[in-house]
Structure 1
Amino acid sequence: MSVLTVKNVTHGFGSRSILENVSFRLLKGEHVALVGANGEGKSTFLNIITSKLMPDEGTVEWSNRVTVGYLDQHSALTPGTTIRDNLRLAFDNLFALEQEMLGHYEKMGDCSDEEMTKLMEDAAEIQNILDTSGFYIIDSKIEEVASGLGLGDIGLDKKVDELSGGQRTKVLLTKLLLQNPTILILDEPTNYLDVNHIEWLKRYLQNYENAFILVSHDIPFLNDVCNLIYHVEDCELTRYVGNYDEFLRLYELKKRQQEKAYERQQKEIDKLEDFIARNKARVATTGMAKSRMKQLDKMEMIEKPKEKIKPTFNFKFSKAPSRFLIEARDLVIGYDEPLTRPLNFNIERGKKIAICGVNGLGKSTLLKTLLGILKPISGEIEFGENVDIGYFAQEDSRDNNNTALDELWNEYPSLTNHEARSELAKCGLTTDHITSPMKVLSGGENAKVRLCKILLQDLNLLVLDEPTNHLDVDAKDELERALKDFKGTVILVCHEPYFYESFITDVWNVEDWTTKII
């Protein structure tokens, strides 16, 4: 049974085409991954099927009584509400359905046989939805899912205003899972989740009976939960059966076959053109030349496979700093209350440190305190000599109207137009990306612009807060290589151990320092 049918959808922004004549069908129970490079149109496609965006052409059809749960990159919570308030909202539609069903039963006392049949069928369908959605075990369901994603440890009566970015994502995701929709749509759900809770979400999705569409650049996660891949590239959507590794194998095979077919056709075209050129002027062979010309005109041209733009990241090393870049003495971090016991540590030249631990214990707070963005609750931080810092923050403003080009020029006004465009292009950004406002770029494109600004700095200390969030596979691989090759010191917050294991020298777990109960 098809729960979603997309027919011949076309969409673009200005002169930039995003999707062209795309069709898609989702069957009940299918576990689909939507993959592709940053900016190819994954989030646009999700916005179209959820009616947040109207396509320029084509249709989107949902089956009757389908319920859709959508977690996108910019979902928000209402200030002033508690975690529990938000989780209870997950069942509002079910309470409304229950009232609709009770209304049907009231109408059955005074209706025709034909109306009775319709009301009974609809009531039975609603009853089935309530049963499969866990409507009659709401409280235990809230406790189970909230605990699985770590919200029980935070406390369900905590105000959402006091939560970290990662904790807010957990609330939104928990609420969505509690709704148990017919189709679940998740855009980068593992961003801001720590390892334990990614593992819990993986098991949940493996056992999920309904259909879901997932956008993620976390390859191990995709391999474990998806059995169908839809690849967005060059405005087209292509279906592959299997997990991500199987898609990659089939994609490379298809690409090689297309390259060989293109080369064979080019040789055939060269032969025909050569024959025509040599024989069209001779009376005896002009007929054969015309025949070859017709053959050439009728030939269906094979396009040369486009080379995917891959980013190049190379961090500039400035000069050697003193032996210890940062020394902390009796440092306590936090906002209104302490998040850690007093800390004493130093960061030595050349070290590459990964900071890990569950969300909400102060990983980002520690980075901001070390950089002087936040004041410590107590204690001291002392910098060594000749320390040049590059800082990648977890998120950028969503209301940034500057173009990518403006962003670079604002920081480096001496760059020529050609130089600025060239630097952005090295990061895998096209002309369309470069001239688009930052607020309409995808999360991955936005991150590449911000990385570009750091790549132009001379530095010896890199401080990176979740730099892999939203980055596509090629960009992640290139960033891993660049950090491995960087001669300076690195402090990294990241929830993906497989990303940093190849170059990290030390792992600091904030769970060892926290004053909170984990």
Structure 2
Amino acid sequence: MLLLEDIHKRFGDRIILKNVSFHIQPGERAAILGGNGSGKSTLFKIIIGEEMADQGKIRFFPSDLNWFYMPQNRDLSDSDTIDDFLLNQHESIETLQRKLELLSMKMEEMPDNPDLHISYDAVLMELSRASTRQKNPEPLLDLFGLSRFNLQTPIQLLSGGQRTRLFLAAAYQSQARLLLLDEPTNDLDEQMLSWLEKYFCSFSGAILYVSHDRAFINQTATKILELDAINHTIKEYMGNYEDWLAKKKFERESELAAWNRQQTEISQLKDAALRIRSSTKMHRGGKTDSGDKLAAGFFMNRSRKTIKRAVQIENRLNQLMTEDKKEKPVQRWKMKIDFLNPGYSGDMVLSLQNMSVGYDGVPLISDINLDLTRGQTCVLIGPNGCGKTTLLKTITGELQPISGILKLGVNMRIGKIAQILDRSLFQSNALESIQKLSKLNETEVRRFLSYYLFFGDDVYIPSERLSNGQCARLALASFAVQGKNFLVMDEPLNHLDIESREQFGEALLQFQGTVLAVVHDRYFSDQVADIIWEIKDHKILVS
């Protein structure tokens, strides 16, 4: 259904993709794995034609294959309605009818052209689908948990998870045979993730997707396409996430063993060559200087043979250190989060008493009576649109509670990461962003940013050119350098690659302050949560 051959892409001097080749067959669900900034989203943009490859070919089978693309950035026009969005994902009935008329005219001129017949049938099928979509869109909203909204609801009223659901509804509505989905699991609650897993596994077409949700990949992937950020190529592994982990572990152990064997052989050959060379040295006054020609010839011949053996050893040594050289397996850099000196707070961090939160006097959550104490890590979960973001905004002072009392402890220094990354909060690049927030000199800032995988000239990449994952890491760095003691985070894992999620979890386990975070990553919640607040039926349950 999709074939990529020898794709190359660079931006200026920076190589993004090199010799990327793979194919996707019907029934396959291929998950692309790779670090932030490795080129995953760029690859999608090349496939759909939004970016041009410097070299290589992309082919769809058939050539007029119906595909659907879900971008990583779900920035929708707030002035649009749900109906506007769904209609804009497809060509209008009028446009499709005009296409049919043009194709019909061409077929009269070239009745034996098979490509025209294929294109005509494809447009006719899409016209049929468009008529069905226009007649009955309401069941679609119900299927994706959006039945509370009507088609004229402004998109600005939807939460992040509800916007993701809307994109998935458009994908489902498209009846595409190939789905190209860039982080479709971001912001989705447990219920929707479970539905999506089942949909993926029953889909008869092909799916190419990026996700950092390890549990989701494990349940859905039939093969892994690993995009290496160092050599910029893709390597294919059949199976799911756990299969990939096992194969990667075996690969690394095998490569390390082979490298160690070669290093041992090199060391032994060096020692042997040195011994042989030493033994061939002729000293004045030795038997070759005795005047005995027979003895001199015997020892000279032996020396020649020894030297020949030494040359053979050195040739083998040279081969091992050049054309047959095995590189030591590289230990990939991982993000190291360092929260700088979080300020001391009292034991009581947050107290919510008889509180209700919502908008325009309409409560989303009521009867909240909860406390957080110093050192706790609390994960907030619940269905999309249930009020998680609203609660966090109320705690950080962006919204006022509808009723009740909210108390913060003494000397609380709140640091907040919002659900949607705001690039305008950054300066022109990572270096200037951290310099503005700290008293560190340039050398110290560079060292600090290296913890967040900004190396060398990475610190000068313009903020608008950073990938979403790089922006997420810079947001964490900005957050950490200010020494906050109460972290309030709305989906902080969005766009972080798998290794960075693991490092973030380990950092939170070492954090001396208090954490309240909305998280849908099941691995991560199990790793860090001391307490879980679950929003259900407009109440918060504690576990």
TM-score by length of 1: 0.87
Judged with a 3 Å threshold, the aligned counterparts in structure 2 of structure 1 residues 494 and 86 are, in CA distance, closer, same or farther, namely same
Residue 350 of structure 2 corresponds to 326
For the residues of structure 1 that align with 2:414 and 2:400, how far apart are their CA atoms?
18
For the residues of structure 2 that align with 1:118 and 1:35, how far apart are their CA atoms?
36
Residue 236 of structure 1 corresponds to 233
Residue 478 of structure 1 corresponds to 503
Matched, 1:72 2:71: yes
Q: In the alignment, which of 342, 366, 391 is matched to residue 416 of structure 2?
A: 391
CA contact (8 A) 1:314 1:455 kept: yes
Residue 289 of structure 2 corresponds to none
CA contact (8 A) 1:89 1:175 kept: no
Please tell me the residue identity of whatever aligns with 1:468.
L
CA contact (8 A) 1:325 1:346 kept: no
CA contact (8 A) 1:185 1:213 kept: yes
CA contact (8 A) 1:280 1:290 kept: no
SS in 2 for 1:29: coil
Please tell me the residue identity of whatever aligns with 2:446.
R
Tell me how large the CA RMSD over aligned residues is: 3.0
Residue 178 of structure 2 corresponds to 183
Residue 308 of structure 1 corresponds to 332
For the residues of structure 1 that align with 2:136 and 2:32, how far apart are their CA atoms?
29
Residue 357 of structure 1 corresponds to 382
Residue 212 of structure 2 corresponds to 217
SS in 2 for 1:92: coil
Judged with a 3 Å threshold, the aligned counterparts in structure 2 of structure 1 residues 432 and 177 are, in CA distance, closer, same or farther, namely farther
Please tell me the residue identity of whatever aligns with 1:321.
S
Residue 24 of structure 2 corresponds to 26
How many Å apart are 1:217 and its aligned residue? 0.8
For the residues of structure 2 that align with 1:335 and 1:448, how far apart are their CA atoms?
31
Matched, 1:430 2:455: yes
Moved more, 479-488 or 177-186: 479-488
For the residues of structure 2 that align with 1:509 and 1:433, how far apart are their CA atoms?
39
Matched, 1:270 2:270: no
Aligned pair count reads 508
Give the alignment of 1:268-307 within 5 angstroms. Answer: 268-277=265-274, 284=304, 285-295=306-316, 296-297=318-319, 299-307=323-331
CA contact (8 A) 1:317 1:486 kept: no
Residue 5 of structure 1 corresponds to 3
Show CA shifts across 1:55-89 (max 9, x none): 33333233310233211221332342211232233
How many Å apart are 1:28 and its aligned residue? 2.8
For the residues of structure 2 that align with 1:31 and 1:54, how far apart are their CA atoms?
25
Residue 48 of structure 1 corresponds to 46
How many Å apart are 1:199 and its aligned residue? 1.2
Give the alignment of 1:114-513 within 5 angstroms. Answer: 114=112, 120-127=117-124, 134=129, 137-138=132-133, 142-233=137-228, 234=230, 235-277=232-274, 284=304, 285-295=306-316, 296-297=318-319, 299-315=323-339, 318=342, 320-329=344-353, 331-340=355-364, 343-350=367-374, 351-398=376-423, 400=426, 402-412=428-438, 414-513=439-538
Please tell me the residue identity of whatever aligns with 2:213.
D
Judged with a 3 Å threshold, the aligned counterparts in structure 2 of structure 1 residues 387 and 268 are, in CA distance, closer, same or farther, namely same
How many Å apart are 1:98 and its aligned residue? 5.7
How many Å apart are 1:190 and its aligned residue? 1.0
Structure possessing the higher radius of gyration over alpha carbons = 2
CA contact (8 A) 1:194 1:495 kept: yes
SS in 1 for 2:91: helix
How many Å apart are 1:221 and its aligned residue? 0.6
SS in 2 for 1:152: coil
Can you give the 5+ residue segments of structure 1 that lack an aligned partner in the other structure?
none
For the residues of structure 1 that align with 2:183 and 2:208, how far apart are their CA atoms?
11
Judged with a 3 Å threshold, the aligned counterparts in structure 2 of structure 1 residues 272 and 65 are, in CA distance, closer, same or farther, namely same
CA contact (8 A) 2:435 2:445 kept: yes
CA contact (8 A) 2:179 2:208 kept: yes
SS in 2 for 1:229: strand
How many Å apart are 1:340 and its aligned residue? 3.1
Judged with a 3 Å threshold, the aligned counterparts in structure 2 of structure 1 residues 346 and 121 are, in CA distance, closer, same or farther, namely closer
Moved more, 224-233 or 4-13: 4-13
For the residues of structure 2 that align with 1:130 and 1:277, how far apart are their CA atoms?
80
Please tell me the residue identity of whatever aligns with 1:48.
I
SS in 2 for 1:353: strand
Judged with a 3 Å threshold, the aligned counterparts in structure 2 of structure 1 residues 47 and 398 are, in CA distance, closer, same or farther, namely farther
SS in 2 for 1:154: coil
SS in 2 for 1:395: coil
For the residues of structure 1 that align with 2:102 and 2:43, how far apart are their CA atoms?
37
Show CA shifts across 1:131-173 (max 9, x none): 7xx5564368744442232111233321112222222222222
Judged with a 3 Å threshold, the aligned counterparts in structure 2 of structure 1 residues 147 and 323 are, in CA distance, closer, same or farther, namely same
How many Å apart are 1:231 and its aligned residue? 0.6
How many Å apart are 1:433 and its aligned residue? 3.4
Please tell me the residue identity of whatever aligns with 1:254.
E
Please tell me the residue identity of whatever aligns with 2:234.
L
For the residues of structure 2 that align with 1:329 and 1:167, how far apart are their CA atoms?
29
SS in 1 for 2:52: coil
Please tell me the residue identity of whatever aligns with 2:75.
A
Judged with a 3 Å threshold, the aligned counterparts in structure 2 of structure 1 residues 302 and 140 are, in CA distance, closer, same or farther, namely farther
Percent identity of the aligned residues? 30
SS in 2 for 1:373: coil
Can you give the 5+ residue segments of structure 2 that lack an aligned partner in the other structure?
281-302
How many Å apart are 1:239 and its aligned residue? 0.4
For the residues of structure 2 that align with 1:276 and 1:17, how far apart are their CA atoms?
42
For the residues of structure 1 that align with 2:437 and 2:343, how far apart are their CA atoms?
21
Show CA shifts across 1:219-260 (max 9, x none): 111111110111111212100011111011111111111111
Judged with a 3 Å threshold, the aligned counterparts in structure 2 of structure 1 residues 415 and 46 are, in CA distance, closer, same or farther, namely same
CA contact (8 A) 2:434 2:481 kept: no
For the residues of structure 2 that align with 1:112 and 1:14, how far apart are their CA atoms?
45
CA contact (8 A) 1:6 1:22 kept: yes
CA contact (8 A) 2:4 2:20 kept: yes
SS in 2 for 1:471: coil
